[in-house]
A = this chain, B = another copy of it.
Amino acid sequence: MGSLSREIEKYLKALLENAKNGVIEVQRSALSDFFECVPSQINYVLSTRFTPAHGYIVETRRGGGGYVRIIRLNFANSDKLKLLFEEIIGTEISQNQAEGLLEYLKKEGILTRKETLLIKNIISDKVLSTSLIKNQDALRSRILQSVLATILREDI
């Protein structure tokens, strides 16, 4: 008794199985035509089943030649990363904590010295202490989530 959402989910996951690199590109309108549903149903599926926490990243582009790209994350040999990832979602992280996390990733050989430095500087107070930002620690958490998700991408 699959709901439509579950069907769409299955379909996309099947596509991903056959894709090399764990990356597929589809068009939202083509998908919604195929499943005879409204386009926003596709967004619903993506936002409930293809989030980083589920192990996917979605990138889209509007306009002519637009697309929806789904990238599968590879948690296979990084349970620890998965945990970390889940732990920091929706949290706030101080500069100190963030640096600790980055150092850990460096020590594990997951980030190089240069990558660590780049990110450390980005999330430093020097960059983030600005009236442009309402809550530094919350933004820092979002940035780190993005870093973890990128690291986990299969296609890099």
Q: What residues make up the interface of A, taking CB atoms closer than 8 Å to B?
A: 1-6, 63-65, 113-115, 117-119, 121-122, 124, 126-127, 130-135, 138-139, 142-143, 145-147, 149-151, 153, 156
User: B64 touching A3 by the CB < 8 A rule?
Assistant: yes
Give the oligomeric copy count. 2
* Complex CA–CA separation, A65 to B7 (angstroms): 11
User: A156 touching B126 by the CB < 8 A rule?
Assistant: no
A-B contact pairs, 30 of them (CB 8 A): A3-B63, A3-B64, A3-B65, A4-B64, A5-B64, A113-B156, A114-B115, A114-B156, A115-B118, A117-B153, A118-B119, A118-B146, A118-B147, A118-B150, A121-B146, A121-B147, A122-B122, A122-B143, A122-B147, A124-B146, A127-B146, A130-B139, A130-B142, A131-B134, A132-B133, A132-B139, A132-B142, A133-B134, A133-B139, A134-B134
* Complex CA–CA separation, A146 to B65 (angstroms): 33
Known: A3-B65, A126-B146. 17 other contacts (CB 8 A): A1-B65, A5-B65, A114-B115, A114-B150, A115-B115, A115-B118, A117-B153, A118-B118, A122-B122, A122-B143, A124-B146, A127-B145, A131-B134, A132-B138, A132-B142, A133-B134, A134-B134
